[in-house]
Amino acid sequence: MCSTTATAVPVQHVDNDRVRVTEWRFAIGAETGFHVHEYDYTIVPLNPGTMRLTGPDGDVREVTLVPGVSYFRPAGTAHNVVNTGGTAFAFVEVELKESPAS
């Protein structure tokens, strides 16, 4: 028996020298795959959802998304994100690139 895993769908809205803004859409069971964040970032949930974050050492935590309740993580954060809830959800990820020299 073969199982398939859905992949979260990124929709890039902005990518310039200061910021990258991506909307991530997760069907039920969809995941990002393991990745390491290159920049500091903020997540802004668009609708409610539950996601499982699995870190590089296998540490697991469940996070409940609340629309409009943002959170911040530093560059270097490493994890896989999986929609473990019963509905699809989406969030906007705002990555903060370094400011140009003044």
Condensed to tens digits (0 to 9), the pLDDT of residues 6-34 reads: 999 999 999 999 999 999 999 999 999 99
CA distance 36 to 69: 23
Domain-located, residue 36: yes
Cα-Cα-Cα-Cα dihedral of 3, 33, 79, 84, to 10°?
Answer: -50
Domain of residue 14 covers 9-96
pLDDT at residue 102 tops 60: no
pLDDT at residue 93 tops 90: yes
Domain containing residue 38: CATH number: 2.60.120.10
Instruction: Give the pLDDT mean for 26-48.
Output: 97
98 confidence band (pLDDT: 50, 70, 90): confident
pLDDT at residue 2 tops 50: no
Domain-located, residue 51: yes
pLDDT at residue 100 tops 80: no
Domain-located, residue 60: yes
Domain-located, residue 102: no
Query: Which one-letter amino acid corresponds to residue 34?
Result: F
Cα-Cα-Cα-Cα dihedral of 41, 78, 87, 42, to 10°?
Answer: -10
Stated pTM of the model: 0.90
pLDDT at residue 1 tops 50: no
- Residues 85, 37, 75: CA angle, nearest 5 degrees: 120
Work out how many domains the chain is built from and give that number. Answer: 1
